[in-house]
Chains A and B, each alone.
Chain A
Amino acid sequence: MTWTKIATTDQLEDDDEVLPVSVAQAQLALYRSNGEFFVSDNVCTHAYALLSDGFLEDGCIECPLHQARFDIRTGRALCAPATSDIRVYPVKVDNGDILVDLDS
């Protein structure tokens, strides 16, 4: 496991905020939901759009382009037009730093 710091907790002050993060050639979306942090790939599995421009509610991110929704905990594609899940990554918070395991 390799933990990579991608952000600090103060960058997402409120629930249901999403932040785009680029790290090591990966485009990630960092979510805050009910005080917890989650990370997925940022590009929708259906068409080219950034989920960080989308709408986060009840632990689901909705793509801004065609309203596909994904569970930010599991990456599961929840509705059409997406048929493929999105990749999610383990996250941990250490002393205000948000760390992601990109290898898992």
Chain B
Amino acid sequence: METPSSIVIAGAGQAGAVAAATLRELGYAGALTLVGQEPHPPYERPPLSKAVLQDEAAAASTAVHPESFYRARDVQLITGAPVRALDPDARALRLADGRTLHYDRCLLATGGQARELPGLPRGTAGVHYIRTLDDAAALRRALRPGAAVVVVGGGFLGLEVASTARALNAHVTLLEAAPRLLERALPEAFSHWLAARVRQAGVTLRLDCRVRSIEPGAPARITLEDGAELQADVLVVAIGLVPSVELARTAGLAIDAATGGIRVDSACRSSDPHVYAAGDCASQHRAELDACLRLESWQNANEQARAAAAGMLGLPRPAAAYPWFWTDQYGCNVQILGMPQPGLAYACRGQADPADEAPRFVWIGQRDGVPVHGIAVNAGGDLRQLRVLFERGLPIDPLRFADAAEPLKPLVKACQAAAAGA
């Protein structure tokens, strides 16, 4: 494959910014344009539900790259410019402001938008959706000590926003429709642990709780399915993400019906060989699971950006990382390695008391002794020690793992040595 002479990246978020950097690191010297609809240069989204809500100054430290990066790497950064259309025949992107950007290769890193509640579109007074830096800044201004805050949606985002609001001494109610927290990502016992932790922090958590109607206003009035009524000075809706795939869909690219993402291969190439997709908007086939996954994580955005950059240059795909995710909430840095699977046996190392000021423990879910799902609370270093066992499929004795008196590093080394000698 010949080296492309021009690459345009649509979407200036995590994936877009990392793809631009990776293209230059890989030696691509042609024209490189990064175009985004937001007014800001690319920034990291994880702090939006945490530091940016607490501290006005924190917004400044969210940039993915230093300001000097774009000039130094000769990346043309166009901000505040929504893309209206992808024209695959002309190999061009049409911007809302009338400009046309031609490409040899195009990367769609268009991310997604906050899913809206029916009848509560973005912009409704007193209603907050959290996706952008500006969204987070608006919520920060609204979060006052003593304010009644209702968060609809107990996913990672809702949990983090509720945690931050509670830390700012708001009265926080968190509503989750499912019978337990994070049921797709966590084993049931950990969901219960987390629910106890959330309540310990003083958040009123309602599980199995569906909203019947919301009347916006100051305060907003929320009626639940069971007839209960709540009032909210601040209403935060965090019920998931809708991938932004309209450009791809209108251009006739294949969309994965199950995930709603742009279908891509292992090199992140879409059904159009000149167009790639990465990050929240991409649905990628995973050979190890024999399924298409659309992952909404920081790690996935970075990893697919690197894979797409290599793919666009015709270089081999970098080695895939074990899926990893983190969330900071209720005084806990929670790290998750791998994905939950049916029938795993979980073992716990450390003290899992939700009332501890700083609990510290690791759970691993094992199949035939091999850890495939790990959850660390304030123990990311321990999970990192264990990662080699996940990556190489090596077993560990659950009883020795659970014995916190036994140092972990030598134990992991022994597991590796046993496998090498076997």
- Min distance, Cβ B77 to any Cβ of chain A, angstroms: 16
Contact partners of B18 in chain A: CB under 8 A: 80
Q: Which of B44, B65, B298, B381 contacts A64 (CB 8 A)?
A: B381
A90 within 8 A of B: no
Residues 1-41 of B at the A interface (beta carbon under 8 Å): 18
Contact B64 A64 (CB under 8 A): no
Tell me whether B63 and A55 are in contact (CB under 8 A). Answer: no
Q: A41 in the interface, Cβ–Cβ < 8 Å? A: no
Q: Is the CB of B380 within 8 A of A80?
A: no
- A residues near B324, Cβ cutoff 8 Å: 67
* Complex CA distance for A80 and B44, rounded to whole angstroms: 10
Decide if the interface of chain B is mainly helix, strand, loop or mixed: mixed
Contact in complex: B66, A83 (CB < 8 Å): yes
B63 touches A66 (CB 8 A): no
- Residues of A in contact, count (CB < 8 Å): 12
Q: Which residues of A contact B328 (CB under 8 A)?
A: 65
- Kindly name the residue among B326, B328, B380, B381 whose own CB sees the greatest number of chain A CB atoms within 10 A: B381
Q: Is the CB of B302 within 8 A of A80?
A: yes
Tell me the total A-B contact number using a CB cutoff of 8 A: 33
Kindly list chain A residues whose C-beta atoms are within 8 Å of the C-beta of B65.
83
Instruction: Tell me, yes or no, whether B385 is within 8 Å of chain A by CB.
Output: yes
Q: Which residues of A contact B380 (CB under 8 A)?
A: 53, 64-65, 67
Could you tell me the distance between the alpha carbons of A66 and B379 in the complex, rounded to whole angstroms?
11
Please name all residues of chain B whose beta carbon is closer than 8 Å to the beta carbon of A65 when the two chains form the complex.
Answer: 326, 328, 333, 380
Asked if B326 contacts A53 (CB within 8 A), the reply is no
Q: Which residue of B lies closest to A14 (CB)?
A: B409
State how many angstroms separate the Cβ of B287 from the closest Cβ of chain A: 24
Alpha-carbon distance between A53 and B44 when the two chains are bound, in angstroms:
24
Tell me the bound Cα distance from A80 to B18 in angstroms.
9
Interface members, chain A 47-77 (any B CB < 8 Å) = 49, 53-55, 62, 64-67
CB of A96 closer than 8 Å to a CB of B:
no
The smallest C-beta distance from A68 to any residue of chain B, in angstroms, reads 11
Whether A55 contacts B302 by the Cβ 8 Å rule is: no
A80 touches which of B64, B333, B379, B381 (Cβ 8 Å): B64
State the CA gap A54–B222 with chains docked (Å). Answer: 45
Q: Is A55's CB under 8 angstroms from B326's CB?
A: no
Question: Is there contact, CB below 8 Å, between B381 and A81?
Answer: no
CB distance from B380 to the nearest CB of A (A): 4
B384 lies within 8 A of A66 (CB): no
Interface residues of B (CB under 8 A from A): 18, 44, 46, 63-66, 298, 302, 324, 326, 328, 333, 379-381, 384-385
Q: List 26 A-B contacts (CB under 8 A).
A: A49-B333, A53-B380, A53-B381, A54-B381, A54-B384, A55-B384, A55-B385, A64-B333, A64-B379, A64-B380, A64-B381, A65-B326, A65-B328, A65-B333, A65-B380, A66-B326, A67-B324, A67-B380, A80-B18, A80-B64, A81-B46, A81-B298, A83-B63, A83-B64, A83-B65, A83-B66
Please report A residues at the B interface, Cβ cutoff 8 Å.
Answer: 49, 53-55, 62, 64-67, 80-81, 83
